[in-house]
Copies of this chain bind each other. A is one copy, B any other.
Amino acid sequence: MSAEPVSRRARPAKAPLSRAVIVRTGLRVLDREGLDALTMRRVAQVLDTGAASLYVYVKNRDDLLAAMLDEALGRVRFPAEGSWQERLQVLVANSIDAMSRHEGLALVALGGIPTGLNALLVMDRMLALLKEGGLDDTTAAWAVDLLYLHITVAGAEQAAYNTKKMNAADHIAEVRKLYADLPADRYPLLTSMGDALFSAGDRDRWAIQVLVNGILNTPADR
């Protein structure tokens, strides 16, 4: 019944497994087939091996996801020009962008102090910029916390927006109708402010500005 063992040599030379290629393959699968398709078996299949083989280099699926997140964060570019505020805003925007390129990855970062080497590099640079802006240590530390939190959540939201949702315009129109059809006595503003609620504009850039302005005007008092 069992076929004779196929020599590995019979197949075209196969690149050896390693943590790095597993992580990169994971990102490829995530980008092309979505988060649901990112199973250990699928990643192994792409690498032409069995799922069990991955566990030599990766502790478990969460470990793989965390490594993928840090790999993605490794591609964040650090701006070199402009005032410290401009550089901070661009750095935050770049980080959100890096996360939002991969569906669901940002969610991995939530609920855990960042420990990936590339995530920590982003944090260190943000701290440097805040110190350059003259903030005291405590405020800068709290600010980095808040900014990183915003990066993850904005990344998650953008990612959900970019991928998956077949037709964003249709979906928005649907929700808009839902808002308009709400009982006006219980939801007076949602029913009447439809135009503003769904207005276009660079909300992401605005949100970052809000954070930076707020940080500058709100010292951490303790």
Which residues of A does B touch, CB under 8 Å? 107, 110-113, 115, 120-121, 123-124, 127-128, 131, 137-138, 140-146, 149-150, 152-154, 156-157, 159-161, 171-172, 175, 178-179, 182, 186-190, 193, 195-197, 199-203, 206-207, 209-215, 217-218, 220, 222
**Which residues in B have their C-beta under 8 angstroms from that of A179?**
120
Min distance, Cβ A114 to any Cβ of chain B, angstroms: 9
Minimal beta-carbon separation of A48 from chain B (angstroms): 32
Separation of A56 and B118 alpha carbons in the complex (Å): 47
Q: Which residues of the other chain, B, contact A202 by a CB distance below 8 angstroms? A: 222
The quantity of this chain's copies bound in the complex is 2
Across the interface, do A210 and B201 meet the contact criterion of CB distance under 8 Å?
Answer: no
28 A-B contacts (beta carbon < 8 Å): A110-B156, A111-B157, A111-B159, A115-B178, A120-B187, A124-B189, A124-B190, A127-B190, A137-B196, A138-B201, A140-B196, A142-B203, A142-B207, A146-B203, A146-B207, A149-B150, A149-B153, A149-B154, A149-B157, A153-B153, A200-B222, A201-B222, A202-B222, A209-B214, A211-B211, A213-B213, A213-B217, A214-B214
Give which listed residue, B110, B120, B188, B220, contacts A182 with CB less than 8 A.
B120
Given contacts A110-B156, A159-B111, A206-B218, contact A124 B188 (CB under 8 A): yes
